[in-house]
Amino acid sequence: MKINPNIFRGYDLRGIVDKDLTLEIVEHLGKAYGTYLKNHNINKAILSRDCRFTSPEYSVAMIKGLNWVGIDTVDIGMNLVGTFYWAQYYLNIKGGVFVTASHNPAEYNGFKFAIDFSETLVAEGIQKLRQIAEQENFEPSEKLGKNKIIDIKQDYFNDILKRLPLTKKFKIVIDASCATAGVIAPEFLRRFDCEVIENNCEIDPSFPMGTPDPTENIVAKRLSQKVLETKADVGFSYDTDGDRIGIVDNLGRIIWNDVLLALFAIDVLDNHPNSKIMFNTLCSKVVSDTIKKYGGQPFMWRTGHSFLKKKNQEIKAAFIGELSGHFFFSEDFYNHDDGLYSTVRLLSYLEKTNQTLADIIDALPKYISSPEIKIGCADEIKVGLMVKIAEKLRTDFNQAEIIDDERTGDGVRMNLSDSMIVIRYSQNGPYLTIKFEASTQEKYDQLKDYINKLLHSYKEIDWSFGVNVESL
């Protein structure tokens, strides 16, 4: 069967519905993944999904393929992906598929393939899956696997309630961008006796409010307006599968997730002194500054939640965070990202410190930072472009630290004492991601102008696609 090779990405699979992914292709992928599991002595898999139009039928097709090769399946229905990972432990099942295209637009769907507790296929594993699918090197079974449908949502809620009990009644805005979290997060937070104001919480798989991405300015500004209007303590937004969050403080200020990462690091280091804290390449200098100030060991690694999880098997960080809003409380919870756990963890810290979120943020080091900017660049040329950009940065900033080794993995980071620039290609789609910051407005404006001219000098850049491009 012919399958578009570009759907096999760095740490998951994503493609356009009815073009890259059909029911026949999804069942085919189920057979391939089931064969991969059998080759690793795994004979059971959990299935869960987001709210996209095709997610229910893709889940059924994936189950059909898995059962065909003899894998037993447990369908836990529509959930956030953190619940899916949690279910691996609860049900003692290493295998699993979560049907989602995360923050990709509505015409996409895809899959995260589990291979161990809190661990999904990345890099070589994804390519091995591709090889099995392309060569149709399946291992059929004389006895079909069986599927079982169960509901574990309340068991998951109860576990988080026991881990992070709250006594303070918070007033919270939830903006789910008409995606999966809209019917899960409000119910979850009301179990903690929170007053929840729902904004765009009705599910609509066409995503009429735009792609559910908490890093986008339009989502953050919409959340900010609702927090100010309702005088809430904090506002939360989520992506489609709910592993990433965005926040707004009680003054309506947008708090980018690297700043939240620094706040979480303080909390973790209070419980686990001198621990390693891992963060991705796109993060602000406020992260490393804060980790050092509170006695931790900063460790920067390449962007991509699966890459970070994999690296943590080696370095054993107590906490991991990404600018995109993935947070892993590995020492206190599990080595995976969970947007709902992160939500309550922040509320727990606010209760413990008896401060407003604005007060806590104001005490952190200050940098003027851009949002996460995305600009189009075709998959087949984006890797080569990064080499050109790294060489250009070395020439133009010869006094700076230029990092383009395994720590960045898919891009380049330029560090100066008072500023930084990161440019990398996405593992999830045909675009580049840009982030920059400086300690003064003057330096920030200089970097902004430099990056704008730099990117416009390359014909490889596709300016017809962009997110937060107005920040350039």
Residue 63 lies in a domain: yes
Among 277, 311, 335, the domain-final residue is 335
Residue 375 lies in a domain: yes
Catalytic residue among 48, 55, 59, 102: 102
102 is catalytic: yes
Instruction: Answer yes or no: is pLDDT of 72 > 90.
Output: yes
3-state DSSP call for residue 225? helix
Mean pLDDT of 424-441: 92
Instruction: Answer yes or no: is pLDDT of 293 > 90.
Output: yes
Residue 359 lies in a domain: no
Structural domain harbouring 396: 368-471
Q: What is the DSSP letter of 8?
A: B
In three-state form (DSSP H/G/I as H, E/B as E, the rest C), the secondary structure along 312-360 is: HHHHCCCEEECCCCEEECCCCCCCCECHHHHHHHHHHHHHHHCCCHHHH
Q: What is the DSSP letter of 236?
A: E
At residue 386, the pLDDT reads 94
| Residues 199, 104 within the same domain | no
| Residues 41, 139 within the same domain | yes
| Residues 135, 63 within the same domain | yes
| Residues 191, 142 within the same domain | no
| Residues 20, 56 within the same domain | yes
| Residues 172, 139 within the same domain | no
Among 251, 279, 297, the domain-final residue is 251
pLDDT category of residue 375 using cuts at 50, 70 and 90? very high
**What is the tens place of the pLDDT at every residue in 21-31?**
999 999 999 99
| Residues 89, 31 within the same domain | yes
Instruction: Answer yes or no: is pLDDT of 135 > 90.
Output: yes
**What is the tens place of the pLDDT at every residue in 156-185?**
999 999 999 999 999 999 999 999 999 999
> How many domains are there within the chain?
4
3-state DSSP call for residue 45? strand
Mean pLDDT of the chain: 95
Instruction: List strand residue ranges (DSSP E) for 62-136, in order.
Output: 72-78, 95-99, 108-116, 119-120
| Residues 407, 460 within the same domain | yes
| Residues 232, 281 within the same domain | no
At residue 181, the pLDDT reads 98
- 392's CB contacts (< 8 A; 6+ apart) are 454
Mean pLDDT of 86-91: 98
Nearest one of 228, 242, 229 to 177, comparing CA atoms: 242
Strand-strand pairing, 276-280 and 319-321: parallel
At residue 1, the pLDDT reads 87
| Residues 183, 287 within the same domain | no
3-state DSSP call for residue 277? strand
| Residues 141, 168 within the same domain | no
| Residues 245, 270 within the same domain | no
Residue 410's domain is classified under what CATH number? 3.30.310.50
Mean pLDDT of 83-103: 97
At residue 428, the pLDDT reads 77
pLDDT category of residue 303 using cuts at 50, 70 and 90? confident
pTM (2 d.p.): 0.89
Contact 422, 443 (CB under 8 A): no
Residue 329 lies in a domain: yes
User: For a pLDDT cut of 90, what percent of the chain falls above it?
Assistant: 91
- 199's CB contacts (< 8 A; 6+ apart) are 173, 174, 175, 176, 222, 223, 226
Which tokens sit at 112?
């995260």
